[in-house]
Amino acid sequence: MSTTVAIAESIEDPWRTGLASVPTVSLLLQAPASALLGEGVVQSLEVRRITGREAQHLDELAAPTKSALLLVVEAVLDDASAVGLEDRGIAYADAAGRAWVPGAPRSAPAQPKRMRMRTSSIRAAQLIADHPDTTWTEPALAKRAQVSSGTAHNLVRDLLSLSLVERAGKGAAGVRSRDTRGLRRWLVAQARREQPLMVSCYIPDVEGLDSEIDGVTLIRSGAEGARLLGVPVVSSIQRVMIRVPVSSGLEDLPARLGGLRTAAGANVVLVADNDHFAASDARLVHGVWVAPPSRIAVDLTMEPRGDAASSIFLDLWGEEVL
């Protein structure tokens, strides 16, 4: 059965792209009124925008209405939330381009699994997300992210196809962010599949740790990094996340920091940063190294209440440059 979704307001990417990609659905923008049209039946449609902070309470916000309901969610829906909305016949489109409309095939899983984003592409994408006002030529992006010219070219091509960046001029003038919020949420969704080496430990004086030890940089990330950037997202920090740009020797580091490895009572988690996700573009804040905001957003997903904390961080970050 074919369904037409008529929208009386402007729906920008990635929500528009998501809706347009739903099988058996056609999209009509700037219509006189929002409605679902199919098989000779016209049903009025309420379009309800849900912020990243509000997305944690979808059950309350998706209350039944007399008309059909379309949720435009400024967050990345997890599978359980998406399936729950489909069970109730509620249309949705999220910030990662995932969408569904009543009458379309159910999504279980909602979207085909994408190939894991290459680590080199993640570093380059982080730079664009952290510096949305910068115009990036492919050579400049490749040099700054320390990636190949082919990796920079492929990333720019993909981001252009998703309407997350735009050309700053003609020819090789470069690109800049077009949808900064969407780009940052897309990056988190792509980069969160990482499974780094992590070591839990107890260190008596975390606040007194130097910015580096024996030439190895200690980089705050996750909730602690967010706090240091002035964007606290949790009420209490269970374990301080410290990214360490090493590929080996992480197990011996707690003792060198004056602590011990332990799971019970741990107050620090050391995370190997062998791909330099945090080290690239880290900055000194109050005398300690802090990961770039885009890496903090990704690393928050590995902590307690991670998805919620990451979504709140992205919401507070908004279009700004931290």
pLDDT tens sequence across 276-311: 999 999 999 999 999 999 999 999 999 877 888 898
C-beta of residue 183 within 8 angstroms of C-beta of residue 129: yes
Q: Which of 165, 191, 217 is the last residue of a domain?
A: 191
Domain of residue 39 covers: 3-100
**The pLDDT of residue 153:** 93
**The pLDDT of residue 21:** 86
What domain count does the chain have?
3
**185 lies in the same domain as 280:** no
Q: What percent of the chain has pLDDT over 90?
A: 44
**227 lies in the same domain as 295:** yes
**223 lies in the same domain as 303:** yes
**62 lies in the same domain as 88:** yes
Does the pLDDT of residue 61 top 90, yes or no?
no
Taking the C-alpha atoms of residue 239 and residue 17, their distance in angstroms, rounded to an integer, is 39
- For the residues 1-29, what does the mean pLDDT come to? 82
**96 lies in the same domain as 135:** no
**38 lies in the same domain as 135:** no
Confidence of residue 116 (pLDDT cuts 50, 70, 90): low
**74 lies in the same domain as 155:** no
Say if 128 falls within a structural domain: yes
> Can you give the CATH number for the domain in which 165 is found?
1.10.10.10
What amino acid occupies position 126?
Answer: Q
- For the residues 254-268, what does the mean pLDDT come to? 92
Helix, strand counts (H, E) of the chain: 11, 18
